[in-house]
Amino acid sequence: MTTTSPTLAERVLAGDPRAIARAITLVENEDPAGAELVRAIFARTGRAFLVGMTGPPGAGKSTLVDRLIAELRRQGRTVGVVAVDPTSPFTGGAVLGDRLRMQTHAADVGVFIRSMATRGHLGGLARATSDAALVLDAAGKDVVVIETVGVGQDEVDIVRTADISIVTLVPGMGDEVQALKAGIMEIADIFVVNKADREGADRLVSAIEANLSLQHYGDGEWRPPILKTTATSGSGVSELAAAIDAFRDHASGRAPAHASGARDTMAARRRIRGEYRLRELVARLFMYHLERRVLAAGELEVMVDRIAARELDPYTAATDLVNRSIQLPDDPMTR
């Protein structure tokens, strides 16, 4: 443990924006000090409500999140935002750069917005997003919004990182049925039809409704509402904030008339998230051990070359690497 990390942790816990920014950079870069920081703050997390927001590009999610921030602030709640920007797997640089958005809330210490780039390696996005949310949680933000673009594997990560999943769609994006088919029906806790002043909004609502009517919802089970918003004017945003609260009450068993089947949805989700995260961390630490303590310099490259030349198959290579790694390098019998 270094002497700087506890100080940084204390400053994060006090809500210092510069400390929050520094802490998120550490976890984003996979700096060992980032792991140390998470260790130090972890016991003080779990209080924030994590809101995941996804949908296809062009659905207006950024503007909607901006309006939601304003609504939550009006209610006196503090807000953290992690905007996950898909970027190239090659450069790894941040892209969307929400400079305009940051300016809007720059003077408000109750709001912290951070853009993060998609990491081009296994599990990097989920890990960095989850740690950044922990930092904002520890810093005392009441609500942490995790915003991402896309309707593919990203959703799985969001489901595993957030307490609620909001799927935002817009009218006129080609074949609405396609969009609904693409696996998003089952992850949404709330549907938002944004740009609801556009032609086709009611048709899109009907298409979602038709799909929902095919699902079976048990007694007391949450049925995803479909909300219409126009983020540019702010129309429907207070209703969205109310729906998020209603879901939270329901999922945490505080809703007045809910059946026992719905109890502890939030706790169950958080537990699944915790297990996923633990497994992912274990895999990463093991690869670190393998590369630093088992393999000779350049050895992995030779193996990869032999696989490329079809002299060695990946399953045999992987089995060999694991078998060698699970022997301690300072095993007394081999010393």
In the complex with its own copies, the residue whose CB is nearer, 36 or 71, is: 36
Per CB under 8 A, does 88 bind its own copies? yes
Residue 57 touching its own copies (CB under 8 A): yes
Q: Is 242 in the site for its own copies (CB under 8 A)?
A: no
Choose which of 15, 110, 123, 220 interacts with its own copies (CB under 8 A).
Answer: 123
Q: Where are the alpha helices (DSSP H) in the chain?
A: 4-13, 17-28, 32-41, 61-74, 99-104, 124-138, 153-161, 176-181, 201-212, 237-251, 265-289, 299-308, 314-325
State the nearest-atom distance from the C-beta of 311 to its own copies, in Å. Answer: 8
What whole-number distance in Å separates Cα of residue 47 and Cα of residue 198?
Answer: 38
Residue 192 makes contact with its own copies by CB under 8 A: no
**Binding of its own copies at residue 157 (CB under 8 A)?**
yes
* Per-residue x/- track, 14-53, its own copies (CB under 8 A): ---------------------x--xx--xx-xx-------
The one among 48, 68, 125, 139 contacting its own copies by CB under 8 A: 125
For the chain, the first-to-last Cα distance in angstroms comes to 30
Q: What's the token pair of residue 274?
A: 């915790």
Find out whether 101 and 66 touch, Cβ atoms under 8 Å: yes
Let me know: does 145 contact 80? Beta carbons within 8 Å: yes
> Which segment (98-106, 139-147, 157-165, 202-210) binds its own copies by CB under 8 A?
157-165
Q: How many residues bind its own copies (CB under 8 A)?
A: 98
Q: Which of 18, 74, 181, 203 binds its own copies (CB under 8 A)?
A: 181
Cα–Cα nearest to 53, from 167, 132, 163: 167
Give the C-alpha separation, 148 to 52, whole Å: 8
